[in-house]
Structure 1
Amino acid sequence: MPRPQHLWHALRTGIAAATAYGLAEWIGIPESYWAAISAIIVMQSSLGAAWSTSKQRLLGTLLGVVLGACLVSALGTPHVAFYGLVMVLLGGLCSLLRMEVIGYRFAGVTFTIVVLVADPQQVWWVGLYRFLEVSLGITTSLVVTAVSARLTRLSA
């Protein structure tokens, strides 16, 4: 028999993912599934945990977009060795900025999407869309988590 807390978590996650995906589709973001994926990743058991990690995810995503778009704009798509070197340097930059590992993870994923997937002519658009997708997923998850925490307190 399923445990109630697992069902509650599944319901919240489903609402957050579907809402993020629906909003991204409505806005017209090309790869709207990333909003849903971001929402699923962010869902936590408490609002405090979700908020602290969400700040790191947003900062990491922004850093990955800016670094990746600047690199591609200046030099084009990087060679594999240069890409690896920049990933290492990105980790050092995240450390200097006192970001947590989760921030670096999102910076690295976003950097990779921007530099290896993006058409060099569209790199800033790809970066903007990526930031919007992640932001939508994070925001939706935070709202769903906050509302569900409130409902839980009211029913107790």
Structure 2
Amino acid sequence: MSPPDTHPSRTDATLRVIRLRRAQRALDGLFRSLPLGRRVRTGIFMAFKTVLSALAAYAIGSALHTEQAFWAAISAVAVTQPHFGDTRGAGRDRCLGTVFGGIAGLLGLSIGGSGDMLSFGLALGLVTLACWTANAGPAARIGGITTAIVLLVPSQGPRWEVPLYRLGEVILGTLCALVIGWLVSRLEEHADRKQETEAS
């Protein structure tokens, strides 16, 4: 007797993807149908998190004299999401994408050098495939951006500096977004509990 198949069939995987997309559309619709006051309140908390994490990331990056501290601020803005769990996932994807993109960019530099379109195309294809293979599809976009920066933006100094500095700045921005996102989510939960108590 053969062992049962533990791998889902392609049909099951396709159905799951379809269901996930429908669920995402339904959640987006639910959020858009919230009353104006609730949307404004959520927007205020989101703005608070975004501003605090971007300012903290830029200030720390500048104090540490990183190459381009604005990348830490950009990462903090990109990672910050309305819900802490989403921020954590976005941070993971951003860090993975940056690592994969940096590696692919370095491989592209060793093959054809900065600005070479063939090595850029190969590196971009490689980073996209690597992210999807590692079950981190959303990281592919960030990986592609990092690959483009490493291969297409002129820089001075050793080849490894650009991806290494970029990774450090991305990690700094992600950490700021995670810490501040967690703190503000506690504040938001407290406000929700207070509102529920007043309503009951």
Q: Same fold (TM over 0.5)?
A: yes
TM-score (norm 1): 0.89
C-alpha offsets along residues 50-105 of structure 1, whole Å, 9 cap, x if unaligned? Answer: 112211111110111122123314542252133123312322222222222x2001
Instruction: Specify the alignment match of 2:55 in structure 1.
Output: 18
Instruction: Specify the alignment match of 1:113 in structure 2.
Output: 149
Asked if 1:131 is matched to 2:167, the reply is yes
Instruction: Specify the alignment match of 1:66 in structure 2.
Output: 103
CA change 1:69–1:120 in 2 (3 A) is farther
- Return the letter of the residue paired with 1:132: G
RCO comparison, higher one (Cα < 8 Å, 6+): 1
The question of whether the paired residues in 2 share the 8 Å contact of 1:35 and 1:133 is answered with yes
Which runs of 5 or more residues in structure 2 are unaligned? Answer: 1-35, 194-200
Give the number of the structure whose alpha-carbon radius of gyration is greater.
Answer: 2
Q: Distance in 1 between matches of 2:82 and 2:59?
A: 23
Please identify runs of 4+ aligned residues in structure 1 that moved more than 6 A: none
RMSD: 2.0
- Return the letter of the residue paired with 1:11: F
Higher deviation after alignment, 63-72 or 81-90: 81-90
Instruction: Specify the alignment match of 2:186 in structure 1.
Output: 150
Aligned residues: 155
- Return the letter of the residue paired with 1:138: T
CA change 1:112–1:84 in 2 (3 A) is same
Which runs of 5 or more residues in structure 1 are unaligned? Answer: none
CA change 1:120–1:96 in 2 (3 A) is farther
TM-score (norm 2): 0.71
Deviation at 1:37, TM superposition (A): 0.8
Higher deviation after alignment, 1-10 or 20-29: 1-10
Which structure has the highest helix share of the two?
A: 1
